[in-house]
Amino acid sequence: MTISLYRTAPRPRRVAVLSVHTSPLEQPGTGDAGGMNVYITQTAIEMARSGVSVEVFTRATSSEQPPVAELAPGVIVRHIPAGPFEPLERHELPAQLCAFTSGVLRTEAFHEPGYYDLIHSHYWISGQVGWLARDRWGVPLVHTAHTLAKVKNAALAEGDKPEPRTRVIGEQQVVAEADRLVVNTDVEADQLIRLYDADPGSVRTVSPGVDLHTFRPGSKAAARQALDLPADAVVLAFVGRIQPLKAPDVLLNAAARLLRRHPWLRRRLVVLIAGGPSGTAMGQPTALRELASSLGIAELTRFLPPQSGQRLVQVYRAADVVAVPSYNESFGLVALEAQACGTPVVAAEVGGLPVAVDHGVSGILVPSHSADDWAGALDLVALSPHRRAQLATGALRHAERFSWKRTTDALLDAYTEATSAFQGAALGVAV
């Protein structure tokens, strides 16, 4: 007999969010902080607004961090001591999972049983902790991978290191144990099912959103003035972590190729790179500057540290085009933020970017990473005012389809389903 409990299972009152390797309090754009941080922050805030309390567990990286910090009303961040008080490389974190898990379980032990209604883990390392906490607390586990080792290894950038087999095995275990697997796109859902043998019935597609109150159109002239950019410049921008996976070098090579096509452009071109080193680029923070110099565009390239708030909005507004040349993206929040500011995007046709960018309507998708192909796409948008204006209009309309409230409502529905499935399994009935 099949019994549906979805309509009767209540939404959770309190959710434990696990983010071992990066804190939502960190600045996106450097180290391990990126789109996942934004995702956790925005969905937690929206959940709190709907009456769901959220507690985020992350590894303490400094002795000066308070044990508990408020991210927003109804959202707290718990810093769990696990290993040295310093940032660790991701491959070093599995050795600290016992200590981190102990800290998470100890926190719950100070409360009455049933204090947390559900666990949502982000990234495979957190999923390992979530799997153990799920069994100890008797609550469902929802997991979001954000990136997958098998997918990353199939599309490695030159000079990047493949993900280790320990991660592949760890991801496989979490996929098998989670009550619901939340993915950003249908492409990612297919990857989980095809590459990790995920149960199709446990996978739910929930697209990320964009903060439409913060990221919105504004004066390009004012943004350029704030960033000390010439009013008549042709600005190509990259926003994100400086690492091979994100491929900012593709933009630099394309910009150099664009100059060969249009020598007159040297008087006006500005390539704006906003972000900090991450991953395998941590040991080579000057490599991108050296590449710009070797290409003869050092004087045209401006580097900014990771930007946030209105400073980030100004970068998007100041640009004629925002480039997202990544070798893999589970979604592409930068692309969505830029479009919400009315700026067209040229992006690699990989991962979730074909969802984040509506090809030919809000931007252009490039099917390769060759300098010629990218120069052609940038030429089509940056140097054609009429085409750029059309895409800018399409970018705004496309971005308006996404919001963090919509994302969070869908997440809460997935939580309700996970709770129903978990309760049904405990009762021995199918749901």
At residue 90, the pLDDT reads 82
Q: Is 274 annotated as a binding residue?
A: no
Q: Is 147 annotated as a binding residue?
A: yes
Of residues 5, 44, 13, 7, the one with CA closest to residue 117: 13
At residue 272, the pLDDT reads 97
Contact 429, 8 (CB under 8 A): no
Q: Are residues 413 and 378 in the same domain?
A: no
Q: Are residues 324 and 264 in the same domain?
A: yes
At residue 297, the pLDDT reads 97
At residue 430, the pLDDT reads 53
Half-sphere exposure of 238 (CA within 13 A, CB side): 27
Residue with tokens 């996970």: 418
Contact 180, 204 (CB under 8 A): yes
At residue 1, the pLDDT reads 36
Euclidean distance between CA atoms 118 and 264, whole angstroms: 59
Q: Are residues 378 and 409 in the same domain?
A: no
Q: Are residues 183 and 225 in the same domain?
A: no
Q: Is 241 annotated as a binding residue?
A: yes
Q: Is 167 annotated as a binding residue?
A: yes
Residue partners of 382: CB distance under 8 A and separation at least 6: 234, 236, 320, 321, 388
Euclidean distance between CA atoms 208 and 77, whole angstroms: 21
At residue 9, the pLDDT reads 72
The amino acid at 76: I
Q: Is 316 annotated as a binding residue?
A: yes
At residue 159, the pLDDT reads 73
Token pair recorded at residue 386: 């009429």
Token pair recorded at residue 359: 């090809």
Domain around 263: 220-400
- Cα 103 to the chain's mean position, in Å? 26
Does residue 160 belong to any structural domain of this protein?
yes
Q: Is 225 annotated as a binding residue?
A: no
Q: Is 78 annotated as a binding residue?
A: no
What Cα–Cα distance (Å) separates residue 272 from each residue in 166, 221, 233, 285, 349? 37, 16, 11, 16, 22
Does residue 365 belong to any structural domain of this protein?
yes
How many folded domains does the chain comprise? 2
Q: Are residues 124 and 198 in the same domain?
A: yes
Q: Are residues 135 and 169 in the same domain?
A: yes
Q: Are residues 158 and 197 in the same domain?
A: yes
Q: Are residues 51 and 67 in the same domain?
A: yes
Q: Are residues 156 and 226 in the same domain?
A: no
Strand, helix or coil at 78?
strand
At residue 339, the pLDDT reads 98
At residue 35, the pLDDT reads 81
At residue 279, the pLDDT reads 52
Q: Is 37 annotated as a binding residue?
A: yes
Q: Is 339 annotated as a binding residue?
A: no
For residue range 202-227, list pLDDT tens digits in order.
Answer: 999 999 999 999 999 999 999 999 99
Q: Is 246 annotated as a binding residue?
A: yes
Q: Are residues 161 and 138 in the same domain?
A: yes
Q: Is 34 annotated as a binding residue?
A: yes
Beta strands 363-366 and 269-274 are unpaired
Q: Is 329 annotated as a binding residue?
A: yes
Q: Are residues 98 and 49 in the same domain?
A: yes
Does residue 3 belong to any structural domain of this protein?
no
Whole-model pTM: value is: 0.89
For residue range 156-189, list pLDDT tens digits in order.
Answer: 877 778 999 999 999 999 999 999 999 999 999 9
Residue with tokens 């299972």: 9
Q: Are residues 228 and 143 in the same domain?
A: no
Token pair recorded at residue 179: 């009550």
Does residue 429 belong to any structural domain of this protein?
no
For residue range 276-333, list pLDDT tens digits in order.
Answer: 876 544 445 588 999 999 999 999 999 999 998 899 999 999 999 999 999 989 889 9
Does residue 214 belong to any structural domain of this protein?
no
Q: Which bin fits 114, alpha (ψ -120 to 50), beta or left (φ > 0)?
A: left
Q: What is the domain-level CATH number for residue 87?
A: 3.40.50.2000
pLDDT mean by block of 10 residues, the chain; 431 residues: 53 96 79 82 97 97 94 97 90 93 96 95 97 96 95 82 93 96 95 97 96 96 97 97 92 98 97 80 69 97 92 97 94 95 97 95 97 97 97 97 96 95 72 52
Does residue 9 belong to any structural domain of this protein?
no
- The DSSP-derived string for 82-144 is -SSSS---GGGGGGGHHHHHHHHHHHHHTS-TT---EEEEESHHHHHHHHHHHHHHT--EEEE
Q: Is 397 annotated as a binding residue?
A: no
Does residue 32 belong to any structural domain of this protein?
yes
Does residue 6 belong to any structural domain of this protein?
no
Q: Is 65 annotated as a binding residue?
A: no
Q: Is 390 annotated as a binding residue?
A: no
Q: Is 28 annotated as a binding residue?
A: yes
Residue with tokens 């961090």: 65
Q: Is 120 annotated as a binding residue?
A: no
